[in-house]
Amino acid sequence: MPSAGASPKRRPFGQRLAAAMAQHGPLCVGIDPHPGLLQAWGLEDSITGLRRFSLGVVEALAGHVAALKPQVALYERHGSRGLAVLEETLALCAAGHVLSIADAKRGDIGSTMAAYADAWLAEGSTLAADAVTLSPYLGFESLRPALDLAAATGRGVFVLGLTSNPEGKSVQHVGGATSVAKGIIDAVANENQDERPFGSTGLVIGATVGDALAELGIDLVASAAPILAPGLGAQGATGAHMKASFGAFWPQVLGTSSREILKAGPDAGALRAAASATRDSLL
């Protein structure tokens, strides 16, 4: 049974992520086993294909990128056997000394949120990752069980802050100078007080948000948060575009690319070359 237990001998996630970015560059590669990518690798859309794809990505890229980010939904679609592959993938990340970010986007209240926290952050859980993505749109404090458990176990969270999908504006941009997104980001700043170079409560900010940060008056430096920025590559963002969008916030940004790199597989050398080229575009 998962349990927070005693605090492990593990540095806070923010410090470990900063060290990984300094060593390997500011790149996170998503592990996204879409049916189309499995087919492109010559694999069936099956448990066997899912396993070969996932473990192949980890084996090729552990030690070459700052973090790997399995997309949880693409394992859940295979049922319990898919979650077993996810457990194996996370274990291989740990064995390969590469940080794992479970892209689960969990969010709920009370005992349900506590159960999600146990699943993704507790010591002894077979799904525990180094960090997990969370949705705060039931109110930031609804995430408290996960925030507290992450702090207790030296793990991290990435809270959805400002996403680039068109529908996001209908919620996140409401309020203008006192927008919902700004309120979430200010709450993250309170979690990261006095933590440097950044804290363990991160933010998800879309790589293609453009001028939205400036328009909403959002100061990411003050948040002291690592920024997980999806959208690099296949979704249209380039390193140059991201540097222009994030400006002074750039040292906090962990760019995320999935399909653009994964389509180079299944050859391990080709995957590493694609990741290296993407990483270099961020330097």
- The catalytic residue positions are 105
Contact 124, 117 (CB under 8 A): no
Find the DSSP H helices in the chain: 13-24, 35-40, 47-61, 73-76, 79-95, 110-121, 144-153, 169-172, 180-191, 212-215, 220-223, 239-246, 259-262, 268-282
Q: Rounded to whole angstroms, how far apart are CA atoms 1 and 129?
A: 16
Burial-class residue 167 by CB neighbours within 10 Å (0-12, 13-18, 19+): exposed
Which whole-number Å values give the CA distances from 62 to 69, 72, 249, in the listed order? 12, 19, 27
Q: Rounded to whole angstroms, how far apart are CA atoms 135 and 218?
A: 19
Helix (H), strand (E) at residue 189: helix 180-191
The tokens describing 15, both together, are 């410090």
Q: Rounded to whole angstroms, how far apart are CA atoms 152 and 156?
A: 10
The tokens describing 237, both together, are 């963002």
